[in-house]
Structure 1
Amino acid sequence: MEKKELRHHVLQKRNALSQEQRERFSRQACHELLQCDRLSQAKVVMAFHPFGEELDILPFLEEARERGVEIWLPLTVPSQRRLVPYRYDGPQMLKQGVYGIWEPNPDLAEEGDCSRLDAILVPGVAFDRRGGRMGYGGGYYDRFLAALQHRPFLVGICFSIQVVDQVPMEPHDIRLDALVTEKGFYHS
């Protein structure tokens, strides 16, 4: 019940942000992402397309692509409860997925080779500064991250109001290396 209550509480706070706050905080967080040395050295970064009231990282994705970084976005495969990364070449190759999230259209996109991943930007509901992350409850990212043969640099992305003292962690949960909010970049 602890996770369910925390998820509800944090989403309620996030949804209460005004559109102006969400846009301003998203710009500030994208600036922080662009200043990160580990991300600026990365050649291949898996990210996510923001959904609903999530922090908007699209400006970071476009700037990173202009700088020559290969960006990948995940396709959700609910029947297998897994994520499959595809190269992102712009909004023209996206389709609305099963959860309403914009995802790569496999007919228009090239599947990514996970051994090439340098970094992954990870969405979620709540985070702590020790690398804890609580997602939306489907376990997609934890399964994806656990299956990787090597560990890329893992960065949580959220508004500062989504940072809590401690996220309840289970043995299968993967800790992140860093966290970015509109207030800065924090290493775990």
Structure 2
Amino acid sequence: MDKKELRRHLLQKRKLLSPELREAFSQRACEWMLDCEELKKAKVIMAFHPFGEELDILPFVEEVRKRGGEIWLPLTISAERRLVPYRYDGPHMLKQGVYGIWEPDPAKAVVMDCSRLDAILVPGVAFDLRGGRMGYGAGYYDRFLDGLSHSHRPFLLGVGFSMQVVDEVPLEPHDILLDGIVTEEGCFHS
């Protein structure tokens, strides 16, 4: 199955999850993330605001903030095809972005310095246990991850449902490998 077919197949499969199962699986994955050593140690975590049928990580985000951790969310700048991280201080500072995703409103948020990042939660369509990830096809995360300083590389954790884990994600030379993946079944290191 090529990338395009695999993406279509997995997105369709994910769409068929009932809202009840999606909520139960999301809750379990959030518990695994709260238990993950690398995320427990992380003071600054870049997350994402789930949209569509993605796993809902907002309970994790709120718990980290409650415990004093710093959460950042990316703003998509589609004209430049890049992500810019902003500090997340609550839903009041969000607006709907180009793809309908809730993102930081630059008028209400502070842009952050990536050298402070300890961990990044990375959404995707498909993952494998070697650290492979396939996104939605626009390459925003690939460019963002590639632009991070190699001297201080944050812990990269893919986030998805177990149905999104495949034997092998077709990788391109520019793809950045993740350090692990979390699903409702656990947190797995690559």
| Counterpart for residue 182 of structure 2 | 180
Distance in structure 2 (CA, Å) of the matches to 1:121 and 1:66: 18
> What residue in structure 2 maps to residue 26 of structure 1?
26
Q: Between Structure 1 and Structure 2, how many residues are aligned? A: 188
Provide the C-alpha distance between the structure 2 equivalents of 1:169 and 1:85, rounded to a whole number of angstroms. Answer: 25
User: Once superposed, what is the RMSD of the aligned Cα atoms?
Assistant: 0.7
SS in 2 for 1:9: helix
Give the drift of 1:134. 0.2
SS at 1:110 equivalent: coil
The alignment partner of 1:61 has SS state of helix
CA deviations on 1:30-59 (whole Å, 9 max, x unpaired) are 000000111011010000000100000000
User: Structure 1 counterpart of 2:109, which letter?
Assistant: A
Paired residue type of 1:104? P
Aligned ranges for residues 22-171 of structure 1 at < 5 Å? 22-149=22-149, 150-171=152-173
- Secondary structure, aligned partner of 2:59: helix
Amino acid of the structure 1 residue aligned with 2:85:
P
SS of equivalent residue, structure 1 residue 5: helix
Following the alignment from structure 2 to structure 1, what is the Cα–Cα distance between the partners of residues 135 and 51?
13
**Structure 2 CA distance, aligned partners of 1:40 and 1:65?**
12
For residues 178 and 166 of structure 2, the distance between their equivalents in structure 1, rounded to whole angstroms, comes to: 15
**Distance in structure 2 (CA, Å) of the matches to 1:92 and 1:164:** 37
1:173: how far off? 0.3
Gapped regions of structure 1 (runs ≥ 5): none
Where does structure 2 lack aligned partners over 5 or more consecutive residues? none
Q: Deviations over 1:73-128 (max 9, x none)?
A: 00000000000000000000000000000000000001011000000000000000
SS in 1 for 2:187: strand
Deviation at 1:151, TM superposition (A): 1.1
Q: Give secondary structure in 2 for the equivalent of 1:167.
A: coil
CA distance in 1, matches of 2:112, 2:122: 17
CA distance in 1, matches of 2:183, 2:75: 25
